[in-house]
A and B are shown apart, each in its own frame.
Chain A
């Protein structure tokens, strides 16, 4: 790995080198390192580009890292990664994609991650997207996440896109069986002329299932953001979606929440708020000696922390 690749890896996965445990590092459309562990097996797909990750039932306190890094101009790829999480397992999965674009030719990574989370298993899924480089080529990422949660399964998804991605369309779909829980924390910051579209579709099929989809975003300069959240309550369930956005400069943000109750005991809430930084927040930090610009940075950083 060269310095650019190492830097990308650190940005998206907090990795300073090869991780411990099971991992697959994909660089410019090729796997440049892979390891399975006693409980976690990673195998290449034979029918299409991508990998299958098999996590044995009752695997506890293990992590899987599957970062993707790209720094070669003109690459466009579509990758399928499937996660099979056995019953009763409790694991952390760290994915993410970093693109370095140093030329006028763009780079694009589209990924479909599908999770089959078996009965009673718990997954923490961390996904970070990052772009850099001074080339004028577009850095494009379109991640799709499909989640199937069996009875009593729990998945928490943390997704972050703070810098450098010119265009993104992210889709997250989930279906939940009895007593399953799906929690999402999404953070997005767009600047320049970037476009970000993020759509959630959650089907609460099981009795006692619940979801909480929380998105915090900041749109600066002339960037555009679109947030869509659809939650359908098809049984006795709880659903909550929240889009909280700070708008700056000439940016535009749309938030379109939709909740549908198909059951008398479906309990669904949506909240959406878009606004500029509150004047009194700036004033308070300025009374502590910060300049207006420094105050703005603190507020935005805190909001997206």
Chain B
């Protein structure tokens, strides 16, 4: 179980300080599948990074399976079973797709066939990719699928966090992407996805709406979707201009 208790996060720069998340309380039961959605700039990605330990909260507490992990570093959280798929996957010169999958799997002797299995799951023809470097020669969409494959390869995952997994994979049928999440769900893993995609919202147990750094609402798809349109559709500036 993942619990966020009164989590606050902000940044400070020369222009002053800005609050990004305000008193966020969120509980995820084991094997739950939730999607976090909401307008851009609302704090969704920050929330995902706080769970992985990439950012640390200014105040509040994060608990994972009853343990306070607020001060744990990324490595310790990963070893405890939290996985994280980047919104913008990282490129590496010289590290091959197989190297990355092998590191993710934790199996030093991972065979090419083993790596291929994970790549096939994200719709990549493995033979074309295993020996390629995870560098600028890969397109954004290819990189995104490889990123998702690294999460599938992590057999120790208890909680998987995906930050906008659908971005940049237009050519990959959504059917396959949603199938990946459903399969992970069937395998009894807890899933948290940041997404704007209706098809992903449709397969979640629950949807959490975040806007202006706060959880605005949590509930089923039918309860949240109308509210989402209301939040994202309000542009006072444009309306005033029209008047």
Contacts and interface: CB of A to CB of B under 8 A. Distances in A.
Contacts of B52: 287
Given A283-B54, A298-B103, A288 B150 contact: yes
B99 A287 contact: no
Interface in B176-228: none
Interface of A: 216, 244, 278, 280-281, 283-292, 298-299, 301-305
Interface string B100-116: 00011010000000000
Interface size class of B (residues with CB under 8 A): 20 to 34
B79 interface: yes
Contacts of A283: 54, 74, 90
B84 interface: yes
Contact of A289 (B79, B90, B93): B79
**Residue of A288, A290, A291, A304 contacting most chain B CB atoms (<10 Å):** A288
A286 B99 CA distance: 14
Contacts of B231: none
A288 B94 contact: no
B197 to A, nearest CB: 23
Interface in B44-95: 52, 54, 73-75, 78-79, 83-84, 86, 89-90, 92-95
Contacts of B74: 283, 286-287
Given A299-B92, A299-B95, A284 B78 contact: no
Contacts of A290: 75, 103
B154 interface: yes
B93 A288 contact: no
Contacts of A303: 93-94
A171 to B, nearest CB: 26
Looking at chain A's contact residues, the main secondary structure is helix
**Residue of A283, A289, A291, A303 contacting most chain B CB atoms (<10 Å):** A289
A284 B52 CA distance: 11
Given A289-B75, A290-B103, A284 B86 contact: yes
Nearest to A283: B54
Contacts of A280: 86, 90
Contacts of B154: 288-289
10 contacts: A216-B94, A280-B86, A283-B90, A284-B89, A288-B106, A289-B79, A298-B99, A299-B92, A299-B95, A302-B94
**Residue of B89, B93, B106 contacting most chain A CB atoms (<10 Å):** B93
A94 B109 CA distance: 30
Nearest to A286: B74
Contact of A244 (B54, B75, B86, B93): B93
A244 B90 CA distance: 18
Contacts of B75: 286, 289-292
Contact of A302 (B78, B86, B92, B104): B92
A288 B73 CA distance: 12
A181 B75 CA distance: 46
Q: 10 shortest A-B CB distances, which residue pairs? A: A302-B94, A302-B95, A286-B74, A289-B78, A284-B90, A303-B94, A287-B84, A280-B90, A305-B94, A288-B104
Contact of B73 (A285, A286, A299): A286
Contact of A287 (B83, B93, B95): B83
Nearest to B96: A302
Given A303-B94, A305-B94, A289 B99 contact: no
Given A286-B73, A286-B74, A286-B75, A298 B83 contact: no
Contacts of B94: 216, 301-305
A281 B79 contact: no
Contacts of B92: 281, 299, 302
Given A287-B52, A288-B150, A291-B75, A302 B103 contact: no
Interface in B133-160: 150, 154, 156
Given A284-B90, A289-B156, A302-B96, 7 more contacts: A283-B54, A283-B90, A285-B103, A287-B52, A289-B79, A299-B92, A302-B94
Nearest to A287: B84
A286 B86 CA distance: 12
A189 B202 CA distance: 52
